[in-house]
Amino acid sequence: MKITLTATLLLPLLASANDGIGGVSAGGIVFGKTDAIAMKKEVLTVSHRLISVDYEFVNESAQDVVESIVFPLPEYAATNLPSDTYYGQPGNFSISVDGKPVGFRTVVRAMLDEVDVTAQLHGVGISDAQIAHHERFAPDTKVQALTASQRQQLISLKLIGPGPSDDLEPLWNIQVNYVWQQKFPPNKLVRVHHAYRPFVSAGPAHSGMDDETARHYCADAGFIKGWQRLAARNSPAGSGYLSLNAAKVSYILKTGNTWKNGIEDFTLNIVKQSPDELVSLCFPGNFKKINASTFQVRLRNFRPSADLEVYFGNIDPNGEPNDGQMPRMN
């Protein structure tokens, strides 16, 4: 079912993910399936400035269960793509369990054509910091430069090659995973909360709301009309193109299927940062307006068949994220 929140909810590019059972091996993150732990509730609150997630888990077996919990972030390109790509690391990531902060470790993977090439990069002596480094969005971050020998080896391995600008650039995609150990006592409710500032896409969407983008985010005629009206109003006089700052938020939902019964009680809140934002997304269920900035849908026994992707248009490109967390809604 397509869901388009038009007129009062017209909305930019972000990314994040559901917790899932997993383990870290030489090949990276490996997801498993648990028949013991049930995800009783998930409340996911999404804006283009902050993502906040609250879970309730219950171990329905008779023994303690200790699992490696993995929070995978979507991949982003190490090369300098000209537009429509993620930039910036997620900020202020935090995890708490039953109200207490929990430590976690970061696992970095490099992917090329859906193949994990992390071990090849490590074999050439490339560190995780070098794998994940991106000069365009982290210009002040200092990492050791590649040696001439390393560059030549990476070229031979076809891990460095001509990028969009024809310069030699890293060709892999970067995926960051946050991992921690979690104990689930039998028949005890465990509450997990985390929040972070997500990835944000490149700036103005002056390339326009093309047919492919409109289909991808299930934009209907009302949304398109509102987008065009605002874009035309915001375009420089005589420029010949539509200009409207936008971001696209994606969130990995399908890992919710690793829990015993999927997501038994799922709530999604889409939050605008201003009344003039435009929002469109494909999602099952019927959204209802909770307040001037929040639209909500609630699903029972939810087994996601696709990940969440939200288009936010007409946003303030210079706005700073809220210092506090968005309010949790149950």
What pLDDT shows up at residue 159? 95
CA distances from 1 to 4, 28, 57, 217, 219 (A): 10, 34, 28, 11, 12
**Could you give the CA distance from residue 54 to residue 194 in angstroms, rounded to a whole number?**
7
**Could you give the CA distance from residue 270 to residue 292 in angstroms, rounded to a whole number?**
11
**Could you give the CA distance from residue 176 to residue 109 in angstroms, rounded to a whole number?**
6
Site of tokens 């000069």:
135
Rg (CA), the chain: 21
Residue 271's domain comprises: 2-313
What pLDDT shows up at residue 14? 39
Q: pLDDT per position in the chain (330 positions), as tens?
A: 333 343 323 332 335 678 887 777 666 667 788 899 999 999 999 998 889 999 999 999 999 999 888 888 777 788 765 544 444 456 678 899 999 999 988 899 999 998 999 999 999 999 998 998 766 655 556 788 889 999 999 999 999 988 766 678 899 988 888 899 999 999 999 999 988 877 655 444 444 577 888 888 998 888 888 888 887 777 666 555 566 777 888 888 998 889 899 999 999 999 998 888 889 999 998 999 999 899 999 999 999 999 998 988 887 766 554 433 333 333
pTM passes above 0.75: yes
Phi, then psi, of 97 in degrees rounded to 5:
-125, 120
- Centroid of chain to Cα 105: 18
Say if residues 54 and 191 touch (Cβ distance below 8 Å).
yes
DSSP reduced 3-state for 104: coil
CA distances from 84 to 107, 206, 216 (A): 25, 11, 14
**DSSP class of residue 74?**
P
What pLDDT shows up at residue 64? 96
Is residue 328 one of the residues assigned to a domain?
A: no
What pLDDT shows up at residue 84? 41
**Could you give the CA distance from residue 304 to residue 301 in angstroms, rounded to a whole number?**
10
Of 205, 235, 232, which Cα lies nearest the Cα of 217? 205
How many distinct structural domains can be found in the chain? 1
Phi, then psi, of 254 in degrees rounded to 5:
-65, -20
Question: What CATH number is attached to the domain comprising 165?
Answer: 2.60.40.3680
Identity of the amino acid at 160: I
Is residue 277 one of the residues assigned to a domain?
A: yes
Is residue 32 one of the residues assigned to a domain?
A: yes
What pLDDT shows up at residue 18? 83
Is residue 143 one of the residues assigned to a domain?
A: yes
Is residue 324 one of the residues assigned to a domain?
A: no
Is residue 329 one of the residues assigned to a domain?
A: no
Is residue 320 one of the residues assigned to a domain?
A: no
User: Which ranges of 47-123 would DSSP assign to H, the alpha helix?
Assistant: 118-123
Is residue 319 one of the residues assigned to a domain?
A: no
